[in-house]
């Protein structure tokens, strides 16, 4: 099997003061008017739903080679989503799911942004900065909603060269700083698309 070189960047914030919110037009509010007057809101999916989370995962990551969770069972999805401090925040454009950001609380006050992205139809419309700003802010105040969790002291994530071309720059604009870069060969596999297992149309 052929391989490709994939560069992965790990980024972090170690203080909430390092977060640089996006412009107020599409800021970190729960409801706002987005590009072209489209009503945009960001809400937490507070009820763990493996079906909804898997939809978001495949719809956003289908063309970005997100494959690590495709084999997860319903039970494994539920186990992950029911962990204290795991949160899914969804951005809606005209009440249509447009993207999401997933927070994964880890030991010692560390929160990972495990997934973040927009459905293809909503990319390039100014929604990503607002969602990332909101999600990072919710990572920093996670303990306010989960009293058993310690206060957040570090928020981190990783992105790679297979993600969208603006991903790294978006994270850096929000105040995340690269702390590790590595390049490794990976199998060159086709993207699964938003409907994994479906045959491509002729």
SS (H, E, C) the chain: CCEEEEEEEEEEECCHHHCCCCCHHHCCCCEEECHHHCEEEEEECCCCCHHHHHHHHHHHHCCCCCCCCCCCCHHHHHHHHCCCCCEEEEEEECCEEEEEEEEEEEHHHEEEEEEEEECHHHCCCCCHHHHHHHHHHHHHCHHHHCCCCCCCCEEEEEEECCCCCCHHHHHHHCCCEEEEEEEEEEECCCCCCCCCCCCCCC
CA distance 89 to 156: 17
Are β-strands 110-118 and 154-160 bridged in parallel, bridged antiparallel, or unpaired? parallel
How high is the pLDDT of residue 163? Answer: 84
User: Which segments of the chain have a pLDDT < 70?
Assistant: 24-37, 198-202
Instruction: Give the bridge partners for 185, in sequence order.
Output: 5
How high is the pLDDT of residue 199? Answer: 58
Q: Which of 7, 25, 39, 54 is nearest to 158 (CA)?
A: 7
CA distance 30 to 133: 12
CA distance 84 to 12: 22
Q: Which of 140, 45, 57 is nearest to 89 (CA)?
A: 45
**In the predicted model, what is the mean pLDDT of the chain?**
89
Predicted structure pTM score: 0.88
How high is the pLDDT of residue 26? Answer: 39
CA distance 190 to 170: 25
Instruction: State in words which class domain 3-187 has.
Output: alpha beta
How high is the pLDDT of residue 144? Answer: 97
35 close to 43: Cβ distance less than 8 angstroms: no
How high is the pLDDT of residue 36? Answer: 52
């Amino acid at each position: 099997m052929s391989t490709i070189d994939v560069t992965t960047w790990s980024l972090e914030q170690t203080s909430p003061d390092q977060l640089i919110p996006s412009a107020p037009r599409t800021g970190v509010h729960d409801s706002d008017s987005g590009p072209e007057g489209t009503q945009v809101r960001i809400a937490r999916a507070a009820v763990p739903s493996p079906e909804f989370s898997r939809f978001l995962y495949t719809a956003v990551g289908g063309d970005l080679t997100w494959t690590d969770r495709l084999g997860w069972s319903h039970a494994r999805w539920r186990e992950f989503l029911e962990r204290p401090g795991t949160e899914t925040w969804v951005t809606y454009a005209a009440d249509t799911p447009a993207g999401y950001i997933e927070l994964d609380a880890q030991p010692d006050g560390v929160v990972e942004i495990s997934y973040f992205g927009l459905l293809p139809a909503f990319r390039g419309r100014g929604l990503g900065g607002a969602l990332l700003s909101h999600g990072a802010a919710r990572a920093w105040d996670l303990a306010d909603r989960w009293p058993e969790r310690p206060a957040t002291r570090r928020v981190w994530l990783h992105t790679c060269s297979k993600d969208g071309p603006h991903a790294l720059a978006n994270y850096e604009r929000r105040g995340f700083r690269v702390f590790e870069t590595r390049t490794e060969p990976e199998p060159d596999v086709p993207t699964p698309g938003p409907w994994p297992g479906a045959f491509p149309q002729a």
